[in-house]
Structure 1
Amino acid sequence: MTPAARTQAAIELLDEILAAAASGGAAADTLIARYFATRRYAGSKDRRAVRELVYAAIRQAGPVPVSGRAAMVAVADRDPALAATFDGQGHGPAPITPDEPRAERGIAPDWLVDALTASGLDEAQQAALVDRAPLDVRVNSLATTRQAVLEQLPDATPTPLAPLGLRLASGTPIEQSDLYRAGLVEVQDEGSQLVGSALAAQPGEWLVDLCAGAGGKTLQIAAAMDNRGALLACDIDRARLQKLPPRAERAGATIIESRLLNPGHEAQMLSDWAGRADGVLIDAPCSGTGTWRRNPEARWRLTPDRLARLRMMQEQVLSIGAGLVKPGGRMIYIVCSLLDAEGRDQVAAFLAAHSGWSAEPVEPTVGTPHGPGRRLDPASHGTDGFFVACLRAPC
């Protein structure tokens, strides 16, 4: 592909990504993979170059651009070499005109910037939300040690806060490595490892991962339990939950039971666990504002209405989780969001509505204090953004 053809490909992909964001379609990574699956002539350098252009445009634009071309022109305005590829030759895009639309630079749509500011994030903290993220992995303590993995990954460095974490260069194909295939490491952001450890899982306990998804934190909990006890992993998303059994087999995590739940009937389907769990982990569905470094187009998917629906779901899963905890047991509430509406305020509302429940200090101490919990953010801690709180049931 010529440089101009790469620019045109990026514009076409941006148009697809914008349409998917508006309709709830596939994520940018998926769309990029599909695009090149039908264009075998594009080599690895072409794919990498186009991907870089696409994400540069996404990260730079705050409000939703009017088109993929508007997003790319805004990048070209600051890059003469890129601007030169708008030459109208062959498969290249038409020349740029002075008065054509440009995407507006920024962090996010205005209403989201206002919400982040009201949640206590300054300009530097907001800007870091759309930086590129590193690649972190968690060493599987059921199978090996961090030192042993370090000896096989000389380019890796220990993460500063998570005791089983390693940091690799972005783009490292770790999932194609023998280490990954043998179940010795799992891809997991350091922040995710830290908030997952707040459950303080112990061997022999009865624990529930209520919103397990594909099971990243479930595997972390199983390792902390040393495969002793009972661990129930639940979700309402069949496609995501189906990824857990093969991951558990690869990791050697033998105590996990997966359970698919029907929306609206979760409490009935979990009646055998009612009041029995030593601890419940709730990694609640949320806006994902703390993970924009990895999914920057997610800023364009979120609307006030969607945020309101997510808050209702969070309230529901907190209520379901509370019914599973035994007297004196604990519940860890996590969102990968930095909006107070989903974190601090959600926990405060739960405590006000559930007599006898209390918030306790999060252990290990992670992030910075924030209301009844603690918060991690990319600028302050070098991790994805999270809010975590530890809630104790009445005895």
Structure 2
Amino acid sequence: MTPAARVQSAIDLLDEIIVAARDGGPAADVIARQFFKARRYAGSKDRRAVRDLAWNAIRRWGDRPASGRAAMIGMAAAQPELAAMFDGAGHGPAPIEPGEATASGRTIPGWLLKRFAAPVRRELDALLERAPLDLRVNRLKAARDEALEALAGLGAEAVESAPDALRLPEGSDVLSTAAYREGRVEIQDLGSQLICQASGARPGMTVLDLCAGAGGKTLALAALMENRGRLIAADTDRRRLGQLPERAERAGASIAETLLLDPGKEADALAAMAGTCDVVLVDAPCSGTGTWRRNPETRWRLTPKRLEAVTALQVRLLKVAATMVAPGGRMVYAVCSLLDEEGAMQADRFLEDHTGWKAPGQAGPGRVHGKGTLLDPSHDGCDGFYFACFSPT
């Protein structure tokens, strides 16, 4: 492919991503895989160049552009070498016409700016930087020094803020290593590891991972529990929850069990566990504003209506989770969001609605914010999270 043809391909890929973001379609990574699968003629260098062009545009524009061409024209305004490729030659993009639609604006959607927690508002550009690859050493199968040695060829380094965290450069092919295949390491962001540490999960406990998804935090909890006790991974998403058994087998997490829930009827399925759990982790659905480094196109999906829906869901899930906690137990509420509506305000609301509870606070990495803790790329070198720990009085 010529450089200009790569630009046109990036425009075509962006068109599909924009439509999916508007209509609630597949994630950008899924679209990209399908896009290149249908274009076998594109070599590895072509695919990498096209993807880089598209993702640079996604990171640049906070508000969803009208089209892939508008997004790329907006990029070309500050890149003369890119603008020169709009000449219509070969398979390249047609010349730019006067008055043609052009993407413009901030990297952060304007309607969201004032909703971010005050401590991070001056650091929001860090949310769009490229993220490294974080790993968690699986204590059930390896020690950190052993994993470091096994991954030395990839440039693995220990992250001192979490006892089992390693970091690799972005794009490292850890999936092909023996350490990963044998379950000695798991891909998991540092922030997620810190939240699992804050749960206080220990051997012999009964632990409920209420919004387990594919089970990343479930596996971390199993390691903290040393495979002793009871660990329930519950979720309403059959597809994602169905990935956990295979992952648990590879990790040697023998105590992990799954429980599929019906949306809106979670309390019914969990009734037998009411008041019996030493730890309940509520990794609630959220806006995902803290994960923009990895999923920048989610900015184009988020709307005030969507935000209102997930905050209402968070309130309901916290109410359900509270009924599961045993006397002397702990509930950890976490969201991969840095919006106060999903973080500090939700913690305050929970305590207002549940007078028999307290938030004792959490020592360790991050910044205290309201009743909980903020983690963010600029301050902590991880994805953006808010979490708060609660216990019944």
Q: For this structure pair, what is the TM-score category when the shorter chain's length is used for normalisation?
A: over 0.9
In 1: Cα distance, 2:233 partner to 2:184 partner? 21
Q: Which residue number corresponds to residue 96 of structure 1? A: 96
Partner amino acid, structure 2, of 1:77: A
Q: Which residue of 2 aligns with 1:366?
A: 365
Aligned counterparts of 2:189 and 2:20: Cα–Cα separation in 1: 26
Task: Summarize deviations over 1:339-388 as a string: whole Å, max 9, x none.
Answer: 0100111111111111210001225x120000000101111111100001
Instruction: Tell me how far apart the structure 2 counterparts of residues 124 and 43 of structure 1 sit (CA, whole Å).
Output: 40
Task: Mark the CA change 1:77 to 1:141 in structure 2 (over 3 Å): closer, same or farther.
Answer: same
Paired letter, 1:213? G
- Aligned residue in 2 for 1:20: 20
In the aligned structure 2, how far is the partner of 1:359 from the partner of 1:32? 43
Once the two structures are superposed, residues 269-302 of structure 1 have per-residue CA deviations (whole angstroms, 9 ceiling, x without a partner) of: 1111111001100100000100001011111111
Correspondence for 1:62: 62
Structure 2 CA distance, aligned partners of 1:200 and 1:233? 17
Distance in 1, matches of 2:313 and 2:176, equals 36
CA contact (8 A) 1:107 1:113 kept: no
Regions of 4+ moved over 6 Å? none
| Counterpart AA for 2:381 | G
Which residue in the other structure is 2:150 paired with? 152
Deviation at 1:192, TM superposition (A): 1.1
Matched, 1:225 2:244: no
Q: Cα–Cα, structure 1 residues 187 and 11, in superposed 2: closer, same or farther, change >3 Å?
A: same
Residues matched between the structures, number:
391
- How much identity, in percent, do the aligned residues show? 54
The separation in 2 between residues aligned to 1:286 and 1:265, in whole angstroms, is 19
TM value normalised by structure 2: 0.97
Aligned counterparts of 2:242 and 2:123: Cα–Cα separation in 1: 36
- Which AA in structure 1 matches 2:359? A
Tell me the CA shift for residue 98 of structure 1.
Answer: 4.6
Q: Which residue of 1 aligns with 2:391?
A: 392
The 8 Å contact of residues 107 and 126 in structure 1, kept in 2 or not, is answered as no
Q: Distance in 2 between matches of 1:320 and 1:237?
A: 17
| Residue of structure 2 equivalent to 1:186 | 186
Equivalent-residue separation in structure 1 for 2:85 and 2:174 (angstroms) = 34
Q: What is the rounded CA distance, in whole Å, between the counterparts of 2:140 and 2:329 in structure 1?
A: 26
Distance 1:62 1:104 in 2: 9
Matched with 1:138 is: 136
In structure 1, C-alpha distance between the alignment counterparts of 2:121 and 2:346, rounded to whole Å: 24
Deviation at 1:107, TM superposition (A): 2.4
> Structure 1 residue 114: deviation in Å?
2.5
Letter in 2 for 1:362: Q
Q: Which residue of structure 2 aligns with residue 357 of structure 1?
A: 357
Contact (CA 8 Å) 1:195, 1:366: kept in 2 or not? no
| C-alpha deviation, 1:79, in angstroms | 2.1
SS in 2 for 1:270: helix
Distance 2:211 2:250 in 1: 21
The amino acid of 1:130's aligned partner reads: L
CA distance change for structure 1 residues 137 and 122 in 2, over 3 Å: closer, same or farther?
closer
Listed as ranges, the matches of 1:108-123 within 5 Å are: 108-116=108-116, 119-121=117-119, 123=121
Give the SS at the match of 1:337: coil
* CA distance in 1 between partners of 2:340 and 2:13 (Å): 33
Assess if the C-alpha contact under 8 Å between 1:374 and 1:387 holds in 2: yes
Task: State the one-letter code of the partner of 2:360.
Answer: E
User: Which residue is equivalent to 2:205?
Assistant: 205
Note if 1:377 corresponds to 2:382: no
Alpha-carbon separation, structure 1, partners of 2:121 and 2:313: 29
Q: Quote the RMSD (CA, aligned, Å).
A: 1.2
Partner SS for 2:281:
strand
Deviation at 1:209, TM superposition (A): 0.3
The alpha-carbon deviation at position 122 of structure 1 amounts to 5.1
Q: Over residues 165-197 of structure 1, what are the superposed CA-to-partner deviations in whole Å (9 max), with x where a residue is unaligned?
A: 111111112122221111111111111111121
Give unmatched runs, 5+ long, in structure 1. none
Q: Which structure 2 segments of 5+ residues have no match?
A: none
1:78 aligned partner: 78
Distance 2:113 2:142 in 1: 43
CA distance in 2, matches of 1:152, 1:35: 35
Contact residue 235 and residue 259 of structure 1 kept, 8 A: yes
Shift of 1:84: 2.2
Instruction: Name the counterpart of 2:345.
Output: 345
